Amino acid sequence: MTHTDSQTEGSWLAPEELDSARQRLPILYVDAIPVRVDTHGQVTSVGLLLRATSQGTITRALVSGRVLYHERVRSALIRHLEKDLGPLALPRIPIAPQPFTVAEYFPTPGVTAFHDPRQHAVSLAFVVPVEGDCEPQQDALEFSWFAPAEAREPEVLADMSGGQDTLLLQGLFWAGV
């Protein structure tokens, strides 16, 4: 167990505490777009999860999750990538990661391009190269690699919700795709 692990262990709020916090303050998240890159650093594939929502719909999604109290952003990225893609995903995250954008999710639709009916959330968004084997974990039904042009197809983007399609397009643009 690392120092960071000991600081964040047990820092999850109980469900009723989290609901209360969500009513009172923004919650910090990370969003990650997993990518494969060639030897020149060019994006060759984009990874998307397939998830079932609490409303019973199936959507494509980015890797996403909360940053815990006393957890570094880098550690949160690693934790969520391993949680969703498995321990063999082997993400390459710089020592001091820099997001390509900051997304503000609001519970009220239309305030920004990003919507989360549960809360006001602020998310740091990253494009993260992964080198290992990716297998869907936890509540993910499937994980698929798309060529960058395929990931931008209207049919794929339409399968995303809450503005993650916008984040995907912004991330691909930022990565020079």
Q: Identify whether the C-beta of residue 45 lies closer than 8 Å to the C-beta of residue 33.
A: no
Q: What is the mean pLDDT of the chain?
A: 89
Which residue range forms the structural domain that includes residue 120? Answer: 14-174
CATH code of the domain covering residue 58: 3.90.79.10
Q: Identify whether the C-beta of residue 34 lies closer than 8 Å to the C-beta of residue 85.
A: yes
Span 54-98, pLDDT tens digits: 778 899 999 999 999 899 999 999 999 999 999 999 999 989 999
Span 136-169, pLDDT tens digits: 887 888 999 999 999 999 999 999 999 999 999 9
5 lies in some domain: no
57 lies in some domain: yes
Instruction: Tell me the pLDDT band of 25, cut-offs 50, 70 and 90.
Output: confident
Q: Is the pLDDT of residue 7 over 60?
A: no
Number of domains in the chain: 1
Span 131-140, pLDDT tens digits: 999 988 878 8
136 lies in some domain: yes
4 lies in some domain: no
169 lies in some domain: yes
137 lies in some domain: yes
> What per-residue confidence (pLDDT) applies to 66?
94
Q: State pTM to two decimals.
A: 0.86
